[in-house]
Structure 1
Amino acid sequence: MFRDRRHAGELLAGLLGSYRGQARTMVLALPRGGVPVGAVVARDLGLPLDVFTVRKIGAPHQPELAIGAVAAGGVLVLDERATGSMNISRETLDAAVAREREELLRRERLYRGERPPLNLQGCTAILVDDGLATGYTMLAAVRAVRTQQPARVVVAVPVAPPSTIERLKSEADEIVCVHSTENMFAVGEFYEDFRQVTDDEVRATMNDID
């Protein structure tokens, strides 16, 4: 059990010690919950921090159930089996994707402001979130980062089920996880304090590193 996202970041940083101060290495936090975790990881390892925006696509009648995700650069990941079993129409799915892409762009402008576009070619990118359930948001993030031809992509999270980690193994060069268990309903159950991270908190964190 993690006290909060800061505590989770401290434990995660402890497993990433080999990257401490490493040249051409960047921590990319997935907003919003991954930002306070990523900020601690970046601070403890002496690495630069930025955000990498990604949005979950929720099932029409179960918005908390991820059926896919969109990420910066136009990357789209869908669980075709889930969309088929739920009989989600193409029209409904297209509308959901368009809605999340619009929100993705809003957050990208809000969080990154005037920062230049990310250039990850030849770099090591450490993607950080506060935890994974289905893992579709992280999968979309990894694929989007890959389009920039980084030297290495590392997925780093405090908690995730083994099945999700297994799904990501063929996509990432390394996966670092503090606690892995299949017996999980939601990421929040592994935190004593899992309050929602706000847009203002994300912006404040990013402004602190400027």
Structure 2
Amino acid sequence: MSRSSSPLDTPGQFPADSPRPPLWNDRAAAGRELAAQLQGWHGDHQALVIGLPRGGVAVAAVLADALELPLSTWAVRKLAHPAEPEVAVGALAPGGVLLWDEPYLQQQHLPLELRRQLVQEQDQELQRRQRLFADPPAAALRGRHLLVVDDGVATGLTARAALTSLRRCVPSRLVLAVPVIDQEVARRLESSLEGLVDGLVALARVERLTAVGAWYRHFEQLDDASVAALLRDRLPGSPVRPG
């Protein structure tokens, strides 16, 4: 989420060559379009699609079906500002990965004790989701080709936390695939200085992306039961359903 407003935050005001929302009817439609750009992954026996819960799993499930690949999840949690729940100030991922938006936090003077409380609360939720969705152990990802999928990337905090955590699992290939991403975040992720990803596939790169949901006509929040249903027939080792 952007920290400040700009003319690009106003509906209908985009550069002439910029995509305009909405682009997809729902996450499933975005997943099908994304899969069409990733045919080189089709049937790769070393590959695993990793959906980031919750919304990313709805995109990843359709993509995994189309590419005939197994699907799993990888827990990651946004650390939200207590007074503004939609504003990400940090992110938490397995393996002790903790990222903060330090410049923003310095402006807001968020006390250290409050930071610790946020981390403790979200770490409990992260562990709950790891158990509930049966995230794979890190050792099972070593040497694999990982295709990490979310429904969109705005600030990049949760995506970077997830990718940092997955990179520590030593996959042989780590690629992020998303329908829509903030242009500047994409530049940073692709920078050789970051070294987080071996590739980034995005259908739309948007200057100052503020709301991922605006790019979908239907963007309902998924609950745990919905994610579990998407995963049920697509877990690693289960028969892969053709797209």
Length-normalised TM-score, structure 1: 0.95
Distance of 1:168 and 1:185 partners within structure 2: 18
Once the two structures are superposed, residues 88-130 of structure 1 have per-residue CA deviations (whole angstroms, 9 ceiling, x without a partner) of 0100111111111111011111111xx7525111111111000
Alignment correspondent of 1:193: 218
> 2:197 matched to 1:172?
yes
SS in 2 for 1:122: coil
Give the alignment partner of residue 133 of structure 2, picking from 111, 119, 126: 111
Residue identity matched to 1:135: G
Residue identity matched to 2:48: M
Alignment correspondent of 1:57: 79
Alignment correspondent of 1:207: 232
Distance of 2:156 and 2:199 partners within structure 1: 15
Distance of 1:34 and 1:192 partners within structure 2: 16
Flag the 1:195–1:82 CA change in 2: closer, same or farther, 3 A: same
Alignment correspondent of 1:46: 68
> 2:98 matched to 1:73?
no
Give the alignment partner of residue 129 of structure 1, picking from 147, 150, 154: 150
Distance of 1:100 and 1:138 partners within structure 2: 16
Residue identity matched to 2:73: V
Alignment correspondent of 2:14: none
Runs of 4 or more above 4 Å deviation: none
Alignment correspondent of 1:99: 121
Report the structure number with the largest CA radius of gyration: 2
Residue identity matched to 2:129: R
Alignment correspondent of 1:157: 178
Q: 1:82, CA displacement in angstroms?
A: 1.3
Once the two structures are superposed, residues 166-189 of structure 1 have per-residue CA deviations (whole angstroms, 9 ceiling, x without a partner) of 121232110000111115320000
Residue identity matched to 1:22: D
Report if the CA contact (8 A) 2:51-2:74 is conserved. Answer: yes
Matches within 5 A, 1:8-23: 8-23=30-45
The RMSD of aligned alpha carbons is: 1.2
Once the two structures are superposed, residues 115-174 of structure 1 have per-residue CA deviations (whole angstroms, 9 ceiling, x without a partner) of 752511111111100001101111001010011111111000000111111121232110
Gapped runs of 5+ residues in structure 2?
1-22, 239-243
Report if the CA contact (8 A) 2:53-2:73 is conserved. Answer: yes
Alignment correspondent of 1:36: 58
SS in 2 for 1:188: helix
Gapped runs of 5+ residues in structure 1?
none
Distance of 1:67 and 1:183 partners within structure 2: 17
How many residues align? The count is 208
Flag the 1:40–1:58 CA change in 2: closer, same or farther, 3 A: same
